[in-house]
Structure 1
């Protein structure tokens, strides 16, 4: 999904002179500052920075009014900082800033990672069944590793409130949907989403585990290392990449991370993992190549997770229905931002039709017509 690079919108994201002064004070002087707007993703804004000979990344909220809790970049920075030495790959942090006098919003800077983010198509080097299985294995093993982290051991034992987490997630995304509806219902309404919200609120599991949860775990929020893996030497990485086992370089987009119900991560992750025979969905929101020979089914992904963690994915219709409902709410927020002129993304106007289709999919899952 590609964002337009309209200069007026980019000017709202960053004040280059102010950023230069901040970087000089924080990191020391450099002979050049170059910025590049990253044109993928749908959450916080990402800009690549060249500060002297350092390759950096700046993360900040989108311009304009948003539901604030959905774009908490300083929370994201805190989590990534806490996980620097954990058994989960994350980018190296550099600095964070809550002074809106610099670029008009909270932001942070991290080192830039290199590798493959699998979004619309698989890399050629993974285009064989044996590598596809390994990609899926690394992907599911990493979320299992996240759920096995002891929050206290990494200084995140005060992050969020795990009791009542699932109930609050339903309330939160229902509230954000209603925030979006305040504007979008002037164009068209999606009453089925309110019906699904009521069903979710009435069907929360009575008990669930408490772990660290990512909050937005999906295939295009991880980066696979160049050939040879993240710890390989340059010579090893330069060898035939197709003969290298896929390894995850970094997990991104931690702004929704908290302590809560790990099954919520699974329900969200599975929204983006199609099975052969699934109904076609207009607009290719989901990576259709995942049905090729070698990639596991949703059920097989869950089986591996259960083997890795010892947990069982009970109440999967609830969690998968919530995953689609959450996506529909997020997409409706994008549609409001488009209608109000606070986004410059060519996909946002398409949400007028996509959100009703997502509501239909959530309904199919809750009624059992799209099984695990």
Structure 2
């Protein structure tokens, strides 16, 4: 590690204090190592070797941002509740709200090992039958999340499902408005205002209630290393709550390109063009399988798919504001000047039935 890396690591964890805490709960060991996983996003991930056990510690970033970061104990709560259900999640070990240990809330889980797919297709899955199974596994796992009896597993107070969908539209409208305070000096995105009006006018009434993941997509799922593709674990439950399951399905579909789309690029960072290869299910096939697995009819599909792309655009516009204000050091942020209008145009095509 560089000197700056060392300094940041010291802010993340008091190694001696963590060792004492783990020893008091897990027993003594002769082997103790801690390494930071550099691929973390909003929350930090530390890999811990404790004797013959490989563990993960999750905590918010240090400093002022920790006060507003996603609640890691909320993430622990849902994964703990899902132990023993049909939903594959890492084994939870400990949760700690004593900031005297490492300076923040944190939790410990067993480290999973497998394949996480981002923008490249794993060689071992590069066959039509494996591709189809991969898509089916994604939908089947999402359906298992939505079938959870959240009251039976103790999550009845985990969210407010009534009004969830309307609150989603309101929340992301506010995010755009915040970003536009700065970004409209560079360029306007009229399509966003049209989309906002359409979404506000078309919020579905009385959608079903379920446990929702909140960010369900390929790179938040781990597969077993060997084929055929089998979901090993679902990660990143920071945004989970009780709400409208179709919001999860729309989000997954927004990352899943189809033949006939004007572009396979999706999201704020591009797209997974490999999903267009022979064998991967189409979006319609994913929806059909989801409906069969849950018994739910994915009505208002244009609304949920447009909402997902609208949310992606809002994230991009917030990135663009941070770039313009000099509050970000990320090469993708200035690209949002063009990508957000592209996402808004895509959402309009969805609304108009062209995608």
TM-score range, shorter chain: 0.7 to 0.9
Change (3 A) 1:198 1:51: farther
Rounded to whole Å, the distance in 2 between the matches of 1:6 and 1:354 is 33
Conservation of the 8 A alpha-carbon contact between 2:61 and 2:69: no
Q: In structure 2, what is the Cα distance between the partners aligned to 1:212 and 1:252?
A: 15
CA-based RMSD: 3.0
Report deviation, 1:167.
Answer: 0.7
2:276 maps to which of 281, 286, 291: 291
Change (3 A) 1:303 1:68: farther
Gapped runs of 5+ residues in structure 2?
A: none
In structure 2, the CA distance between the partners of 1:299 and 1:330, relative to structure 1 (3 Å rule), is: same
* Deviation digits for residues 5-38 of structure 1 (CA, Å, limit 9, x no counterpart): 9628844861343544544444444443221323
| 1:47 Cα deviation from its structure 2 partner | 3.1
What's the offset of the Cα at 1:334?
Answer: 4.0
- 1:311 correspondence with 2:296: yes
- Taking the aligned partners of 1:171 and 1:67, their CA distance within structure 2 comes to 25
* Residue 339 of structure 2: aligned partner: 354
Q: How far apart, in 2, do the equivalents of 1:314 and 1:184 lie?
A: 35
> Shift of the alpha carbon at 1:311?
1.2
TM-score for the superposition, normalised by structure 1: 0.83
Please report how far the alpha carbon of residue 250 of structure 1 lies from its aligned counterpart in structure 2 after TM superposition: 0.3
The offset of 1:39, in angstroms, is: 1.9
Partner of 1:47: 46
Could you list the per-position Cα deviations for residues 99-143 of structure 1 after superposition, in whole angstroms to 9, with x for gaps in the alignment?
445444433221110111111112111110011111111111111
Contact 1:63 1:343 in 2 (8 A): no
Q: 1:298 offset after TM fit, Å? A: 0.5
Aligned to 2:37: 37
Question: Conserved in 1, the CA contact under 8 Å of 2:115 and 2:223?
Answer: yes
Where do 1:47-66 residues align within 5 Å?
Answer: 47-62=46-61
Does the aligned pair in 2 maintain the 1:116–1:223 contact within 8 Å? Answer: yes
By relative contact order (CA 8 Å, sep 6+), the higher-ranking structure is 1
Q: What is the DSSP-based 3-state SS (H/G/I as helix, E as strand, rest coil) of the residue aligned with 1:122?
A: coil
Q: How many residues align?
A: 350
Q: Which residue of 1 aligns with 2:229?
A: 246
1:7 aligned residue (5, 8, 13): 5
Change (3 A) 1:309 1:49: same
Give the 3 Å change call, closer, same or farther, for CA 108–13 of structure 1 in structure 2: farther
Secondary structure in 2 matching 1:275: coil
Q: Give, in whole Å, the separation in 1 of the partners of 2:68 and 2:196.
A: 19
Shift of 1:148: 0.9
Residue 318 (structure 2) pairs with residue 320 (structure 1): no
Structure 1 unaligned blocks of 5 or more: 228-243
